[in-house]
């Protein structure tokens, strides 16, 4: 039985309001009103329009006196004034009020009851409502009846463009966040990931103010034994580095695939679902994700055969950034509620397109801070508009696109938690070996899984290492069932001089990037970087 909701505080006057509809109803509307298709596995497949990835250049944060000293202004958080935000907000509301019906999705962000946030999404597409039904933590009927006023509201009018002639607008797309009003406005982009990342950006603002580290990472937990809870591992990395794939381990329980908080009592997932890349998805290599693609799952921008309804996961005809959004319960070994003790291992995943970093390195605490603040990776095709091949990038805290506060705030919180809870840090390269992109080969997923298994088992804690003279990394040089030639990168290159040249070039990029954090980090952390 639908629960009535009063939308007058949001200035919504649409005659038909569909609140927290079941997936079956949203399927019907998406098929009949939005040209969605149902594929052979039972999932629904739909297009996100012209935008098939995030639009970071169009992300704005309202500049207000209450928060101006605490926001990390610059290329990540572009400043707009409140007047412009209110113009865009009204534009979104006016558009929503032209629809014959809208959808409301009420849910929670954060599995920790003490810190969870009530989120309300207002949108005109059934697909967006189903997506957020999957990605937020779903309230019970009783919780929905007692939901009350939300803590954070998303006005998604992505089908309607921003006015590029409005002051401070750079295009027909605008993704606007007002911290004080606790609202997000989306114009000119139907890519569903903008909603998910809008919630995460707000949590990146809220949680550190409460002493909780907000993290762009996945997490899993080993089996319990001896009356003690299983060990917990965190996986930091940008889209395309393997966060979702590596954390979906049949031998371990999944806590979450993308967004977490680390507080005094342990860690908690921020989301109620997973948003997995599914380009080149293979049933044998990623069986957990494969099985999760069933009724209720949203497949975004995939290609499928109109006759057989079978998805072609190899096709990038629409975009490389094909996605599957599903409730976390669709993973067979998901841990629900998504809460866990303090982690034992913190793993930084980097997709090194230059092919010079070791597949696995054991980090000191100073090195952990250096690589956390650096957040080195390659941006892989499809996660942002315009990316067609790997591009070298440094993304502070492996999360720069979503940080609201200065990276040093999150780094200090991580350093404090690593020390307090005696967690080990690792750098794992899931990128190239034997040469750069276009020459070498991508490190096999099976090899990376063996490295992760060895970390989780504790067998690498005292394993022999090779000290890399360029980056100062202690590269683990012996891992069961892994080719030793792979573990020491320059051994995999045909020409030693080519490796040295490529390594020196990347080291210089590290130094150049880290100059922005040197004062905040201190000399010991600076010294933990490349020589």
Backbone phi and psi for residue 393, each to the nearest 5 degrees, phi listed first: -150, 150
Distance CA 506, CA 504 (A): 5
* Dihedral pair phi/psi, residue 11, rounded to 5°: 65, 30
Catalytic residue list contains 239: yes
**Which residue among the candidates 60, 133, 323, 371 is catalytic per the annotation?**
323
CATH 2.170.8.10 fits 278-330, yes or no: yes
Predicted local confidence at residue 303, as pLDDT: 98
Grouping H, G, I as helix, E, B as strand and the rest as coil, residue 457 is helix
Q: pLDDT tier at 312 (50, 70, 90 boundaries)?
A: very high
The residues, any chain, with a CB within 8 Å of residue 83's CB and separated by 6 or more, are none
CA distances from 12 to 3, 17, 93, 107, 351 (A): 17, 9, 7, 19, 45
Q: Is 260 a catalytic residue?
A: no
- Per the annotation, the verdict on 99 as an active-site residue is no
Least confident of 274-278, 387-391, 427-431, 436-440: 387-391
Catalytic residue among 244, 247, 350, 383: 244
- Please give the helix or strand (H or E) that residue 415 lies within, else none: helix 407-421
Which is it for the CA torsion 313, 259, 455, 222, positive or negative?
A: negative
Cis peptide before 207 (omega within 30 of 0): no
User: What's 213-276+337-527's CATH class?
Assistant: alpha beta
- Residue 384 pLDDT class (50, 70, 90 cuts): low
Phi and psi for 444 in degrees, rounded to 5?
A: -65, 140
312 vs 297: CA distance, rounded Å: 16
| Catalytic (active site) residue 133 | no
Ranges of each domain in the chain: 8-31+55-190, 213-276+337-527, 278-330
Q: Catalytic site residue 453?
A: no
Region at 264 (left for phi over 0; alpha for psi -120 to 50; beta for the rest): alpha
197 is catalytic: yes
The pLDDT of residue 228: 65
- Pair 16, 29: CB distance under 8 Å: no
Q: Are 426 and 360 in contact (CB under 8 A)?
A: yes
Calpha distance 133→121 (Å, rounded): 10
> How far is C-alpha 479 from the chain's CA centre?
29
DSSP state of 42: S
CA angle at residue 179 from 178 to 183, to 5 degrees?
50
Tell me what pLDDT residue 2 has: 59
| 388 pLDDT above the threshold of 70 | no
Average pLDDT of the segment spanning 134-162: 97
CA proximity to 130, closest of 273, 343, 339, 276: 273
Identify the bridge partners of residue 361 per DSSP, sorted by sequence position.
427, 475
243 is catalytic: yes
User: Among 216, 342, 344, 417, which one carries the catalytic annotation?
Assistant: 216
Residue 143 tokens read as 């919780």
Instruction: Give the pair of three-digit tokens for residue 338.
Output: 């998504």
61-91 pLDDT tens trace: 999 999 999 999 999 999 999 999 999 999 9
117-121, 466-470, 480-484: range with highest mean pLDDT: 117-121
DSSP string, 130-148: HHHHHHSBPPPHHHHHT--
Instruction: Kindly name the residue from 48, 173, 214, 239 that is annotated as catalytic.
Output: 239
What is the pLDDT at residue 390?
73
Q: Where are the alpha helices (DSSP H) in 257-392?
A: 287-292, 365-374
- Kindly name the residue from 243, 252, 379, 417 that is annotated as catalytic: 243
Catalytic residue among 58, 258, 352, 468: 258
Q: Is 491 a catalytic residue?
A: no
Out of 54, 78, 260, 371, the active site residue is 54
Q: Which CATH superfamily is domain 8-31+55-190 in?
A: Phosphoenolpyruvate Carboxykinase, domain 1 (3.40.449.10)
For 268, residues 6+ apart whose C-beta sits below 8 A from its C-beta are 110, 111, 112, 115, 255, 260, 261, 338, 339, 340
Please provide the distance, in angstroms rounded to a whole number, between the alpha carbons at the two ends of the chain: 64
Per-residue pLDDT band at 386 (split at 50, 70, 90): low
Closest listed residue to residue 158, CA positions, set 259, 31, 47, 77: 47
Q: Mean pLDDT for the chain?
A: 94
Cβ atoms of 230 and 252 closer than 8 Å: yes
């Amino acid at each position: 039985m639908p629960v009535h909701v009063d939308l007058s505080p949001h200035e919504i006057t649409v005659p038909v309001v569909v609140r927290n509809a079941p997936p079956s109803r949203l399927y019907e509307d998406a098929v009949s009103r939005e040209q969605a298709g149902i594929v052979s596995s039972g999932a629904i497949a739909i297009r996100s329009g012209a935008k098939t990835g995030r639009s970071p250049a169009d992300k704005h944060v309202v500049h207000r006196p209450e928060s101006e000293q605490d926001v990390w202004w610059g290329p990540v958080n572009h400043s707009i004034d409140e007047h412009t935000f209110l113009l865009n907000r009204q534009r979104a509301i006016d558009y929503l009020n032209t629809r014959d019906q809208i959808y409301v999705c009420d849910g929670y962000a954060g599995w920790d009851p003490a810190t969870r946030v009530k989120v309300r999404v207002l949108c005109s597409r059934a697909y967006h409502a189903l997506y957020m039904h999957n990605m937020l933590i779903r309230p019970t009927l009783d919780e929905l009846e007692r939901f009350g006023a939300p803590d954070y509201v998303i006005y998604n009018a992505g089908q309607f463009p921003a006015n590029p002639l409005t002051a401070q607008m750079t295009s027909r797309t605008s993704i606007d966040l007002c911290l004080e009003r606790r609202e997000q406005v989306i114009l000119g982009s139907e890519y569903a990931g903008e909603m998910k990342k809008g919630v995460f950006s707000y949590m990146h603002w809220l949680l550190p103010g409460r002493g909780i580290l907000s993290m762009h990472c996945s997490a899993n937990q080993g089996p319990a034994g001896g009356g003690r809870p299983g060990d917990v591992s965190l996986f930091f990395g940008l889209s395309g580095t393997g966060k979702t794939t590596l954390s979906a381990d049949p031998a371990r329980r999944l806590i979450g695939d993308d967004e977490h908080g680390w507080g005094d009592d342990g860690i908690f997932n921020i989301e109620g679902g997973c948003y997995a890349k599914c380009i080149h998805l293979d049933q044998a290599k990623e069986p957990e994700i494969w099985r999760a693609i069933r009724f209720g799952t949203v497949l975004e921008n995939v290609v499928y055969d109109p006759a057989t309804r079978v998805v072609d996961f190899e096709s990038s005809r629409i975009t490389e950034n094909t996605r599957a959004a599903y409730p976390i319960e669709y993973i067979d070994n998901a841990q629900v509620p998504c809460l866990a003790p303090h982690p034992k291992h913190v793993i930084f995943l980097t997709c090194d397109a230059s092919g010079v970093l070791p597949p696995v390195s054991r980090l000191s605490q100073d090195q952990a801070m250096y690589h956390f603040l650096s957040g080195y990776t390659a941006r892989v095709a499809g996660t942002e508009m315009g990316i067609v091949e790997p591009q070298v990038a440094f993304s502070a805290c492996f999360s720069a696109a979503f940080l609201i506060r200065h990276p040093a705030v999150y780094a200090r919180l991580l350093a404090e938690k690593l020390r307090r809870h005696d967690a080990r840090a690792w750098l794992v390269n899931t990128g190239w070996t034997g040469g750069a992109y276009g020459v070498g080969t991508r490190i096999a997923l099976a090899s990376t899984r063996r490295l992760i298994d060895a970390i989780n088992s504790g067998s690498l804690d005292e394993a022999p290492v090779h000290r890399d003279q360029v980056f100062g990394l202690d590269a683990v040089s012996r891992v069961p069932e892994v080719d030793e030639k792979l573990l020491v990168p320059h051994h995999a290159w045909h020409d030693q001089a080519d490796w040295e040249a490529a390594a020196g070039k990347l080291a210089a990029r590290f130094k150049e990037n880290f100059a922005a954090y040197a004062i905040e980090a201190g000399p010991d952390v600076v010294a933990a970087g490349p020589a």
